[in-house]
Amino acid sequence: MIEMTPSFGLGTFRVDAAKTTNAVKSALEIGYRHIDTAQFYNNEAAVGQGVRDSGVPREDIWVTTKVLWDRLSHDALVASLKDSHAKLGIGTIDLALVHWPSPDGAVPIAETLAAMQEAQKLGLIRHYGVSNFTASLLEEAVEAPGGKAI
């Protein structure tokens, strides 16, 4: 089982879902071990299919997905990660990121991180973190309950 995010990976932003499966499969066959997707990309199911079709053991692949900013409240986040988990169809997601911070702080980061911790307990994700945060928002996130696990 990979314990850290591989430093080199395949991003799937703006990759048409119809082409994603083959792109992921091919990338894994030539040695990539990190695949990055997001709910916003609308290709999680195709990413999962590419992982399954590659023949590379699942424990040798790191998959990251990201949660949309409009799904950061507790219940919405857990529901969206259940959806991502089902679409990917690869078992536990290695890393779930908050794709963008909540606009104007509408959802407190502590609520979002509590939902990420619940998603871990449910076996949906192994790790969680944030992306596209400013330095000050990152500091706030790290100081929130559950923030040390980012």
Give domain status of residue 44, yes or no.
Answer: yes
Give the chain's domain count.
Answer: 1
Give domain status of residue 4, yes or no.
Answer: no
Please calculate the CA angle 32-94-100 and round it to the nearest 5 degrees: 100
Instruction: Write down the pLDDT at residue 27.
Output: 98
Q: Domain span at residue 75? A: 10-149
Cα–Cα distance list, 90 to 64, 86, 105 (Å): 12, 8, 32
Using CA atoms, how far apart are residues 21 and 90, in angstroms rounded to an integer? 13
Instruction: Write down the pLDDT at residue 17.
Output: 86
Task: Tell me if residue 125 falls in helix, strand or coil.
Answer: strand
Give domain status of residue 3, yes or no.
Answer: no
Instruction: Write down the pLDDT at residue 72.
Output: 98
Give domain status of residue 107, yes or no.
Answer: yes
Give domain status of residue 132, yes or no.
Answer: yes
Are 95 and 127 in contact by the 8 Å Cβ rule? The answer is yes
Structure tokens at 134: 């400013």
Annotation says 32 is catalytic: no
Give domain status of residue 2, yes or no.
Answer: no
**Which of 41, 62, 128, 133 is the catalytic position?**
41
- The domain that holds 55 is classified in CATH as 3.20.20.100
pTM: 0.96
Query: For the chain (length 150 residues), average pLDDT per consecutive 10?
Result: 91 93 98 97 98 97 97 98 98 98 95 98 98 96 96
Give domain status of residue 66, yes or no.
Answer: yes
Give domain status of residue 94, yes or no.
Answer: yes
- CA 86, 113, 42, 104 dihedral sign is positive
